Structures are given as C-alpha cells and as structure tokens.
Amino acid sequence: MTHSLRKQAEVLQFLFSREDERILKSEKCAAKMTLPRAHQWLPSGWLMEVRAGGKNMDMMFKFYVHPHRRVRLQSKDDVLRYLKNSKISKCDTNGQCDLSSYDNILAQVDLSPTGLPSGWVTELVFRKTKDGSIRRDPYYTDPTCRYIFRTLKAAISYLESGKVPKRAFIRRASIHDIYSFDKCVELVFFILALF
C-alpha cells in the first residue's frame, strides 16, 4: 500500500497513527500464511474461482480466472503454461461443472487485492436470494489477526486506526482451510466453514 503525503499534517498523522506498524505486521504475518504463500505463483490480476457442480450440485470445483482476458484454467500447470506460451488448455470437468453460466459460482478469491497490504485476501461470495437473484458479498481478510471485514472502507479504517469495527468477525475455519483443495471437493465443507 503506497501513500503520497502532501501536507505536514498528513505526515504527522501518518507517523503517529502506527498505520505503518500494522501494515508491516500484516505483511510479515502474510509471509507465514499458507494460502497466499501456496499461490505466490499466481500473477496479480488472476482470481481463484470456486463453482458448484456434480450430479446433485454437491461438489465444488476450483478454477483460476483472468477476467479481463476471459481465460479460465483448472490447475497451476495450466496457468503457468498459458503464461509461458499463451496456450489455453480445456477445462475438463467430465461434464460435472457448468462453465457457461454464472449461476453456480460460489466465490471469487483475490490473493493480491489492490489497495491492501500483501497477504490480505478478498473474497466475493455469491448467494442466491429468495427472489432468485444473485447477491455478491465481499469479505476482506487480515492475515495478522484473521479478522474479516465486510467493506474495503472498514478494512482500510482498521489499518489506519487499529480499531476493529463492530461488524468485523473471525470465521471458524481459516481462509486457507476453505480454499486449499486441489481441483474438486465436497461442497458440504465449504458451507460449514462459512459459518
């Protein structure tokens, strides 16, 4: 996170806010976190996408997506091959996961979100509402204390002040526990881990 301080008052506020200490502590802790460390190979701008699938929609499948290039790949090897020579391998789920629709997306995870220190993780969790529309709930996870913030504004406010907002919480399962599966896993674990 880079700052451009223009006024003397801004410099003094930054120096006495201890924001820099929180950012450094966050980055140091992030180096130990297994999810960002396990995905250091994933370039900035790529997302991890989790979709529901299977005969009874009881499985979840992981993909690596570059939204701007409209590329969706299924493994680390596929992503590295694409980065090296721009060859896109087919996502083969044996018909278990529909990739043509947005209805079965469970989450999109950004392991290097802009505007936050390294190690922070941004999740966009998709939920169907009663009327059938899809709601997108953002979550911002601090690697230091595992607090989860509902808005970017709350996360930045926490970094600047050190005060935990009322709506911040700590999930039972860590973000690593939720997303550290290979290509496919039972969906029940994901649902239980969210609560």
* Residue among 74, 78, 52, 47 at smallest CA distance from 63: 74
The C-alpha atoms of residue 46 and residue 62 are separated, in whole angstroms, by 13
| Structure tokens that stand for 29 in this block | 């802790």
Buried b / exposed e over 106-131, threshold 16 CB at 10 Å, is bbbbbbbbeebbebbbbbbbbeeeee
Q: Where are the domains of the chain?
A: 18-190
Longest CA–CA separation in the chain, Å? 62
DSSP code for 88: P
Q: What is the pLDDT along the chain (195 residues), one digit of tens a residue?
A: 445 545 665 655 555 555 556 555 555 554 455 556 667 788 889 999 999 888 888 888 999 999 888 889 988 888 998 999 887 777 767 777 888 888 889 999 998 898 898 889 999 999 989 998 999 999 999 887 889 999 999 999 999 888 999 999 988 877 777 887 777 788 765 555 555
* Residue among 193, 187, 189, 184 at smallest CA distance from 62: 184
The confidence score (pLDDT) of residue 168 equals 94
The confidence score (pLDDT) of residue 32 equals 52
The confidence score (pLDDT) of residue 174 equals 76
Whole-structure pTM over 0.85, yes or no? no
Contact 120, 37 (CB under 8 A): no
